[in-house]
Chain A
Amino acid sequence: MDEKDFLKKLENAGTGDIKMPKNKAYIKNMLEYKAKQQSKKMPLAVRLIPVYAVALAIAAVSSYMIIDYNNTDTKFNELGGVWCTYDDHYQGGNSTVWPPASTKGENNFVKSSPGSSGKGYAIRITGTAGTKLGWDYIGVNTFLSPRSTCPECVGIDLSRFTGIKFKIKGKVEAGKVVFIFPHEAHVIDKSRGICKSLTSYADYEFDITKYITASWKEVKINFRKDLKQPDWAKPGERYDIEKVLSDANLIKWQYENGGGHKVDIWIDKLEFY
Chain B
Amino acid sequence: MDRAAEKQLVEKSRKDPEAFAELFEEYYPKILRYNLHRTANAEAARDITSEVFFKALKNLWQFRWKGVPFSSWLYKIASNEVNQYFRNRKYEPVSLEQAIEENKMPELASQNDLEKEIAAAQAELDKNRDYASIKGALLALPEKYQEVLALRFLEQKKIAEICEILGKKEGTVKSLLSRGVEMLRKKIEAGVQP
The verdict on A30 contacting B156 (CB below 8 Å), with A7-B181, A49-B15 known, is no
Q: Are B156 and A51 in contact (CB under 8 A)?
A: no
Tell me the residues in window 1-36 of chain A with beta carbons closer than 8 Å to chain B beta carbons.
1, 3, 6-7, 9-15, 17-36
Complex interface: chain B residues within 8 A of A93 (CB): none
Q: Are B153 and A14 in contact (CB under 8 A)?
A: yes
B149 beta carbon closer than 8 Å to chain A: yes
Q: Are A22 and B67 in contact (CB under 8 A)?
A: no
Residues of chain B from 162 to 194 with CB closer than 8 A to chain A in the complex: 181, 184-185
Q: Bin chain A's interface residue count.
A: 35 or more
The answer to whether the Cβ of A154 comes within 8 Å of any Cβ in the partner chain is yes
CA distance A213 to B78 in the complex (A): 46
Contact A10 B2 (CB under 8 A): no
> Complex: how many Å from CA A5 to CA B155?
18
Is the CB–CB distance between B149 and A64 below 8 Å? no
Q: List the B residue with the shortest CB-CB distance to A1.
A: B185
Number of interface residues of B (CB under 8 A): 66
Whole-angstrom distance between the Cβ of A152 and the nearest chain B Cβ = 10
Residues on A with beta carbons closer than 8 Å to the beta carbon of B121: 18-20
How far, in Å, is B187 (CB) from chain A's closest CB? Answer: 12
CA gap between A21 and B32 in the complex, in Å: 12
Tell whether A35 pairs with B17 under 8 Å between CB atoms, given A7-B153, A13-B153, A147-B4. Answer: yes
Q: What's the Cα separation between A184 and B25 when bound, in Å?
A: 34
> Which of B25, B65, B114, B133 counts the most A-chain CB atoms under 10 A from its CB?
B65
A65 touches B67 (CB 8 A): yes
Q: Mark B15-39, 1 if CB is under 8 A from A, else 0.
A: 1111011001100110011001100
Minimum C-beta distance from B148 to chain A (A):
12
Give the CA-CA distance A14 to B155 in the complex, in Å: 7
A78 at the interface (CB under 8 A from B): yes
Contacts of B99 in A (CB 8 A): 30-31, 33-34
| Shortest distance from the beta carbon of B181 to any chain A beta carbon, whole Å | 7
Expressed in whole angstroms, the Cα–Cα distance for A24 and B33 within the complex equals 13
Closest B residue to A145 by beta carbon equals B4
A156 beta carbon closer than 8 Å to chain B: yes
Question: B99 → chain A, closest Cβ, in Å?
Answer: 4
Known: A7-B181, A31-B57. A69 touches B134 (CB 8 A): no
Give the complex CA separation of A153 and B51 in angstroms.
39
Give the nearest-CB partner of B8 in chain A: A51
Complex contact A55–B46 (CB within 8 A): no
Separation in Å of the B8 CB from the closest CB of chain A? 8
Contacts of A79 in B (CB 8 A): 3, 67
In the complex the two chains form, what is the Cα distance from A269 to B124 in whole Å? 44
In the bound assembly, the distance between CA atoms of A65 and B68 in angstroms comes to: 8
List A contacts of B18 (CB < 8 A).
32, 35-36, 39
Q: Report the nearest A residue to B36, measured CB to CB.
A: A18
**9 shortest interchain CB distances as A-B pairs:** A66-B67, A35-B17, A10-B153, A22-B109, A30-B99, A13-B130, A14-B154, A38-B17, A33-B103
Given contacts A10-B184, A17-B33, A63-B64, 16 further A-B contacts (CB under 8 A): A6-B185, A10-B149, A10-B154, A13-B128, A19-B29, A21-B117, A22-B114, A22-B117, A27-B28, A28-B24, A33-B99, A35-B57, A47-B15, A51-B14, A55-B11, A71-B159
